[in-house]
Every structure is written in structure tokens, then in C-alpha cells.
Structure 1
């Protein structure tokens, strides 16, 4: 076609939109391409390739626009991936292509790598080769960037103002609430409440994730829950009516957390407890915990008590194994093979072993629950926190009145901020202890049957170091609890 008509211009179109809305149907970029195709026909240009970056910002440095990068590469080479020549570029507007000076410079360099190209946007046909156009483009980018930052600042201020008034600001319906973001969804809120109680009782987030997937729960964006999305739901201060901005609770003039207008799912005390519990589990690793789920109750807790030929005790961790089909029970516990460091000499029937250890642990937990019935004393550092907050407020007032200069203000502010942060962390820890003390008063016997395997293992490991299993000798002998020796943790 080009050979037949040397005046034919083969152009490429670039479309981009920062936010594709909730439905994610790409209608915005499709509209841009349709308009550009219509304009190309007016100039008798042939569209040979379409580049699209949907739902991607051009003003954020962390966002990689794959098709924009491909466009720059193809402009430099001079052809599309299929080999068509590129005689020009079309865009709905110049800010679809670039919003940062560095992107403008890269685009102009790639565009001008070949001569006689055309460029068209909402301002019509532009001559990018004209003298001074590079400076003109930079001025346009600067104005666009300034407007973007103004919008971002207005958005941040609006979010904070609404947060201070206790109004919901989420763009999406939060899981657990109805579309008004205020009224609780009865099914989802009940699932959250149960998950919080289960995690506080020892369940892993992996278990909660699996349970929510099996129940068919979806995130507010219509996706199946994953480990991280479940974790974010459970540590969101919205659950207890609080609001968080940049990792800090939004507080009023008296330094008290502002309570939102939406219905709360759990109490603040429980939120502090669940947050402390989850962060405690993930401390230092940065990786999701709870991925390894055992099939048998006492795997790794049982240890072999067989005395070896040299007089030492095997002490290897025993593993749960499936029992032979002809036996009346389904599993047992076996010391590992010699190649794995064990002696392979000790075996215990699984069902009766589990039943005996569970009975001992329940009795132990009931005794601890009785001891925990006394209320945790009130936090003793409330006055220290109040004084620190008032000191910060007084410092800010003196600065606002001009009684102290900037240097003195910013020199004295960090120690006060650090002090307040440490005291608040201690207060949160104390509230978590109170919540755990309240949870310890539950009827252990009644609740034990409802616990998951992981919860039971967590409870067992809380009171037991190990269970030493002594061999019963050769032959098929009756199950003997005397050959199971629990090693209690201190105080047991």
C-alpha cells in the first residue's frame, strides 16, 4: 500500500487511562482508540498498531507502562512488532502519553529518531520537530504535573477531613458491610467476628483463608480471598470503628481515636488483641505464617523415649502416619527411620493417644482459665501518655505563636513523638492482654470440640513442651497411658 501510495501515512495510536472504574471493562481506552481511528480516516492515515495501557497512572514513578515502553522501542527502530513502518503517532491528549519530564524527553527522542513523522492529539496536528517545541512540551508537562499534585493534595485533605468527621472514605464497599459502607452485612460480619475469635484462640490465617474460599466469600472487588487480603481485613481498625491514615489512628484534639459513623464488628479491645497477635506471628520473617498444616494432632509434639544401646534416649520427633486398613483406628505415631535420625522402634496408637493428651490439656487449660479470672489491672502509664501529649501540644502552640523558632521546634518535636509512639504501643499491648484474659474465661471443655486442628495444636504447645512416648515392648499389648509422659511448661 505504501509503495502504491507514497503519501500514505502509517500511524500508531496510544491510549491510556489511570483508573478503569469498578467494572474493569476498558471502555475508556476503547473510546480513545475509536476517536483516534475516526480522526485518522479524516487525514487518510492508516492505523497499523494500537498501544494500550489500561488502568495505569503516568504520574507515578513506580508504575511501569508496558505498552508505552514498547512504543518508545518501536519508534526508535522505526517499525511496529509486525514490521509496519511508523510514520506518526496519535493520542487522545498529550497527557495520555506523558506526565513527567523524563517521559516527555524519552518520547521526543524516540519520536524524532526518524524524520517527517506526524503527531496528532486533541490540539490537532503538532510539529514536534519545530524549534522550541521541546521547551513548550516541558512547560506543558510541568503544568500537568502541578495540577496532578494539586488534585492529590486536595484528595488527601478531603480524606483526612472526612476521617476526622468519622465518615467512611473507601471507594469500594468494605468486606463485612453493605453498599452504604455503614450497615453491617450479617453473613460477612459474622464470618469476620468468628475469624477474629478463632485467630485469637490459635487458628492460622491460612485456615481462615481456606475456610472463606470454601464458603465462597469474595473480596469487595469480586476476587477470592488470599492470605494477604484476609490478613488486611482482620487488622483493619475499621472493624472496631476506628480509622487509620498512613499507619496511624486518626485522633481528635484530646488524642482519642475518632469513632466512625459505621457499625463496628468487634470491640476496640479485640481489635488491639487481633492486631498484636497477627503482628507477633509475622515478626521478623516478612513471610506468611501458617502455610504448613499438619494432618495429625501430635505430630512433632510426640518424642521417642526409646533407650538406645549406648544408654542415650532417642528423643526424635515422632510423625503421624496412616494406620493399616485392618486396624480399628485410622492413624498412629511412629519414630522416624534411622536414615532420618530416628530409631523406628516406638509406635503409639493415634486415637487413644490423642484422647488422653487432649484430656490432660483441657484440665490444664481449665486450671489456667480459673487463674486468669482476675481482671488485668488498669494500665499504669495513662498519666505518662497524657503528659507527653500535652507537652507536644504546648510545644506546637508556642511554635504557632512565634515564641520559638523552627529550629527549636523541630529539634524538640522528635523525642516527644517517639515517647508518645512508645507509650501507645505499650497501651495497645496492655489492651491485648486484657482481651486474652477475657478469652481465657471461656468454657474450655465446651469450646474444645469446635476448635480446628491448628487451634488445638497451638493450645497443646502452649502448655506442653513435648510428650515422651516410651516403647511398650514387643507384641500386641494393650494401650497404656503410663507409657506417655507429658513434659509441662513451667508452672505445670
Structure 2
């Protein structure tokens, strides 16, 4: 891979001297300039998994430490990349600044990267292999404690060991969290992230004004009223979800089928305990609801009119595209409700 003209391949012999030791490590050899040396440019990467978590060093503190590290090396700071509130362990989480950093490393736009520690860079060994491949041209990789020479077997081993240790730590934490959630569920305690509709923030105390609305929803569905009519009515009345959003068919269905309504606690789809106190609806009513939804025909076959309905997604908001216009949904900018 050709290096960026402003940040050439690192020639460690030129930087360290003919014996491979000492010399000016802030300079690197530029093959395109007949071996002349230029200032080493290093990017900085900082990350925190959760915003407002005082147990983690802030991204501001990480960047300050990395800038000091770059100064110790006698190099110049290239670009600073920060991913706030982004997990490096969950493969479903996208880290935009990490991807931008890797693009710069792989194209030779920077001479290397500095991180506070390798767990900030990644907790997935497969992502570390991507950096190792990019470092074949001689990238500089630094953390707050040392340097990883990814052009040598020992350097690659030390780097992989750090990422494997970070991945192991995350795996153990995930296991403990899952075990703790299951134990809480068996004790009848709540594992919710957002306040459940019909309950106070503790997830146990019933919020009566919302509970009354929930009972109304149950009654209307069991008497055969169309779900679209219920959704339209709730939104027109200004009744919002627990997060302040508008109702939809899916959010209405999820609420009605929630075991918590009948005083049951579920974990990963399995009922594992019962909540203290009186439930919002009785178990028989909840079971009638679940049987009603289970008996309904799932979806509709594709048709020539609505080809690919539910199979393609909006490239902007990633919502599944459907071919069933509904009056309560927002129209297209030109006022039409179908395409």
C-alpha cells in the first residue's frame, strides 16, 4: 500500500541510527525525498463506554495524556478521534471516529496512533488484527505505558495479549451482569432501563393514571376494536409512551403483551418470578390477550402493488419500508401517503 506523501513509511534504522538504538525517534525517513527525514505525525484516539461514568477516565483526560505522550516522543499531533458513549466490545455498536482513524492508518495519512490504554482502542481481537495488517508499513502504536512494535513477533504478541485481556474482562463483566439480572428477576425486581408505562421509576409501584389507560387499551382490544383506531385516539388525546413518544401498532402490542402487567417478571422471554403487590390486570386477562395475538395471521404475502414491502429499509432512518398507507402516519413532503 502506498504511503501518504506527507507521512511516509517509517524507516526505524534512519530514526534510531545505524545500530537500531538511540537517534531521533521524532523523525522518520521519507523514501520519496531521497531518504530525507520529516516530523512524525501521530493521531490520538479516546473513548468512553458510558457518558457520565466517573469510574472511567474522561475523553478530555485521555486526550491530554496522549498529547503529553506525543510531546515526549517529539512528534506532532495529527487528528484527534473521540467516540463518546460507544462500546468497543459490542459488535453491533458502530464507532465512527474509530473507523475514521483506521482509514487514516490504512491509507498512510498518519504515522501512527496514541491511546491512553489498549482497552480504549478496542476490546475485540479481530479489530486488533486490522491494525496489525495496517502496521506492516511501520506504524507507531503508543499507549500511556509503552510502545508496540507491530513489525516484530514480540511486539505483535504483546499487543494481542493486551486486546485478549481486554476482551476477557468484558466477557466476564457481561456474564456477571446477565447473572445479576436473572437473580433480580427471580426475586421479582425490575431490570428495566427506561420507566415502564404504568409504573413509577422503580418498576414496581403502579402509576395509577397510566394503569387506567392500560386497562382501557386491554378492554378495547379484547372487544375487537381496531388497533389503528386505538393508536390514533391515544395520540390525539395527547397520551404518550413512558418516554414521551407517540404510540404505534408495535409499541401498543408490546405494551399489552408485557408479563409485568399481570405481575409476572420475565427474563429473556421466560417468566421467572412474580412481582409484589396487585397487578394492573389479572393473569387470566393477560393470557386472553396473548392468545388473541398468537392466533392472528402473521403479515401478508408480497404483492405486485407493494413489492418488497418489509424487505427493504430506508437508507436515512433505517426503518422498514411498508406498503400499507395509514392516515395517522406522517405523509411524504409532497403530502402523498404512498409511493
Structure with the higher helix share, 1 or 2: 1
Say which of 80, 87, 92 aligns to 1:50: 80
Shift of 1:217: 4.3
- 1:71 matched to 2:78? The reply is no
Shift of 1:243: 1.5
Contact 1:183 1:263 in 2 (8 A): no
Contact 1:193 1:265 in 2 (8 A): yes
Aligned to 1:228: 250
Say which of 157, 181, 201 aligns to 1:159: 181
- 1:273 matched to 2:288? The reply is yes
Matches within 5 A, 1:27-426: 31-37=58-64, 39-41=66-68, 43-44=70-71, 45-79=75-109, 86-110=110-134, 112-115=135-138, 117-250=139-272, 258-261=273-276, 263-281=278-296, 283-285=298-300
Shift of 1:40: 0.9
- Give the root-mean-square deviation of aligned CA atoms: 3.6
Contact 1:29 1:52 in 2 (8 A): no
Between the aligned partners of 2:243 and 2:51, the Cα distance in structure 1 is 13
Q: Kindly tell me: are residues 28 and 55 of structure 1, through their superposed partners in 2, closer, same or farther at Cα, counting changes over 3 Å?
A: farther
Shift of 1:261: 2.3
Please state whether the residue corresponding to 1:13 is helix, strand or coil.
strand
Q: Kindly tell me: are residues 149 and 75 of structure 1, through their superposed partners in 2, closer, same or farther at Cα, counting changes over 3 Å?
A: same
Please state whether the residue corresponding to 1:50 is helix, strand or coil.
strand
Unaligned 5+ runs, structure 1: 80-85, 251-257, 296-492
Number of residue equivalences = 274
Between the aligned partners of 2:256 and 2:47, the Cα distance in structure 1 is 35
Shift of 1:238: 0.6
Shift of 1:103: 1.0
Contact 2:141 2:148 in 1 (8 A): yes
Cα shift readout 1:77-132 (whole Å, capped 9, x = no counterpart): 112xxxxxx1221223212222222111012222x1433x4333343444444441
Shift of 1:191: 1.8
Shift of 1:262: 5.6
Normalised by the size of structure 1, how large is the TM-score? 0.48
Q: Kindly tell me: are residues 121 and 196 of structure 1, through their superposed partners in 2, closer, same or farther at Cα, counting changes over 3 Å?
A: farther
Please state whether the residue corresponding to 1:51 is helix, strand or coil.
strand
Contact 1:205 1:290 in 2 (8 A): no
Contact 2:231 2:248 in 1 (8 A): yes
Between the aligned partners of 1:140 and 1:42, the Cα distance in structure 2 is 19
Q: Kindly tell me: are residues 175 and 72 of structure 1, through their superposed partners in 2, closer, same or farther at Cα, counting changes over 3 Å?
A: same
Contact 2:39 2:76 in 1 (8 A): yes
Contact 1:167 1:260 in 2 (8 A): yes
Larger Rg: 1
Shift of 1:240: 0.7
Unaligned 5+ runs, structure 2: 1-5, 8-26, 28-36, 302-309, 311-319, 329-339
Q: Kindly tell me: are residues 165 and 41 of structure 1, through their superposed partners in 2, closer, same or farther at Cα, counting changes over 3 Å?
A: closer
Aligned to 2:21: none
Aligned to 2:15: none
Please state whether the residue corresponding to 2:141 is helix, strand or coil.
strand
Please state whether the residue corresponding to 1:132 is helix, strand or coil.
helix
Shift of 1:249: 1.6
Deviates more, 1:207-216 or 1:148-157: 207-216
Please state whether the residue corresponding to 1:243 is helix, strand or coil.
strand
Between the aligned partners of 1:93 and 1:222, the Cα distance in structure 2 is 39
